[in-house]
Amino acid sequence: MTTAPGARRNTRSLELFMCVPIIASIGYTIWFLLKYHYLPQPFFYEPSGTWMDWYSLTQWGQHKGAYDTAQSIYPPLSFVLLKLFAIPHCYTLTYSEEVRPCDWLGGVVLSLMWFANFPLTYFSFRKIDRATALPRSFALAFGFPMLFAFERGNLLLFCYACVILAYGPLLKSARLRWFFAGVAVNFKVYLVAALLAPLLRRRWLAVEGAVIFMVLVYLVTWFIMGEGSPAQLIRNLTNYSGGFGAAALLDLWFPSSYVPVRLLLDGSFPVYVILGSKEASIVYIGVTVLMRSVQGLIVLAAVAAWFRPEAVPQHRLVYLAITLALSASEAGGYTQVLLILFVFMETWRGIARPMAIVIAYILSISFDVTLSGVPPLVRDSFLGNTFVIAEYGFGVMSLLRPGLMLTMAALLSYVTIGDVWADIRRQGWSGRWRYRRDLPLLPGVLRPKPASAQEAQ
């Protein structure tokens, strides 16, 4: 299906306009930093903690104990990377925030990776739709989830590059795509859901190849590190999933799901003092019903895609698989950058797809509205290089962002079911049940060749 040039120009203009709030929020953040010497909400509530996701783990790349002492849930690849891009003599002592001025290499590598993700994203989207490539690339690279990941120094910056190379249109080599899919899982374990998603389209070889590379990367990095055995990883993952709980309101700062909200309402924290017992019960039931309803809709979309794989693009199935995994656990709000990536691979057709795209732009705005403040806190700001009086409050977007994420998933699940139903109406119930090898990977990319001269006519 081709889009008229006029419609493409209108779409580009509209999406460029939707970048304006993102640019304005970036300008506000810079102004706030220059005036108050720390980043405003919704950025992390500890001004001294910039890049500490990177630096707090790097010492375990230099010394033993990542899995026994630190109880890490990251596969060894993360620590191999941290060991490679670090200045060893800076880690002779135990964990300290003061290591950042010494180990300047970490900050340089994080900055370079953040900047590299923009052209990587742009050239990927350019293969899908040139008209919208620039605004969507900008929203991803400079939107709040990516900025938050960069400010925290999270390894998601590297994982994101692997995901877009594995499931985007840049690489023609299947083996290279399998390799990056395996590497992505070694960065973030929950991406095993994305690795298995091609099974719904009967891409058996793709899954087998990615699994082989996943195992090979794990074995090599395990050998290099000398720790991080399957038993250690399973033990730490089990302890983490069993012991996770929202003990304070700060656990809700930037969640990727409503799991912390449910745990907070069902835990020992006196929520009734703030909301009241009746209101707390209503919120608990409401978020639970929303989560389970959308998860059920995703499963229905997956079942529909299994019956008619030719009717559903691969990128949407990968998106739904990641959303299902993230909605059932809590992996941090910066993971939304992976979801926005696949939403931006959708075309501007119908009603549900544009709504999901608009929501993706909204999630990219670096801004929050606070309703009630907490007492000011005296903190040491790393970016401001001084002590500051930090003021925070209850962020509205902290509760709305997971709901918007679920809404995107519901919309694209609805689109998937609708596409399958439309295909059944065209071909009947006895249509194609086997995967067609000539299907395009993404809309407008690698267009299918006719199987015969008769089909070409």
Alpha carbons 302 and 319: distance in angstroms, whole number: 11
Span 82-108, pLDDT tens digits: 999 999 888 876 556 678 888 999 999
Q: Give the model's pLDDT for residue 30.
A: 96
Span 102-160, pLDDT tens digits: 899 999 999 999 999 999 999 999 999 999 999 999 999 999 999 999 999 999 999 99
Q: Give the model's pLDDT for residue 430.
A: 60
Q: Give the model's pLDDT for residue 351.
A: 94
Check: CB of residue 252 under 8 Å from CB of residue 399. Answer: yes
Query: For residue 41, which phi and psi values (nearest 5 degrees)?
Result: -60, 135
Higher pLDDT, 70 or 268: 70
Backbone φ/ψ region at 202: left (φ over 0), alpha (ψ -120 to 50), beta: left
Write the DSSP symbol of residue 97: T
Distances (CA, A) of 112 to 117, 139, 150, 252, 311: 9, 18, 11, 30, 39
Name the nearest CA neighbour of 413 among 268, 247, 295.
Answer: 295
Check: CB of residue 373 under 8 Å from CB of residue 45. Answer: no
pTM of the complete model: 0.89
Average pLDDT, integer, range 216-243 = 87
Using CA of residue 116, residue 117, residue 120, residue 125, what is the dihedral sign? Answer: negative
Q: Give the model's pLDDT for residue 6.
A: 59
CA 351 to chain centre: 24
Quickly count: other Cβ atoms within 10 Å of residue 93's Cβ: 9
Alpha carbons 160 and 170: distance in angstroms, whole number: 14
Q: What mean pLDDT value characterizes the chain? A: 85
Q: Give the model's pLDDT for residue 456.
A: 36
Coil/strand/helix, residue 129: coil
Q: Give the model's pLDDT for residue 246.
A: 43
Span 402-450, pLDDT tens digits: 999 999 999 999 999 999 999 888 877 665 545 444 444 444 444 444 4
Span 342-387, pLDDT tens digits: 999 999 999 999 999 999 999 999 998 887 667 888 889 999 889 9
Q: First-to-last CA distance in the chain?
A: 17
Question: Structural domain boundaries of the chain?
Answer: 8-434
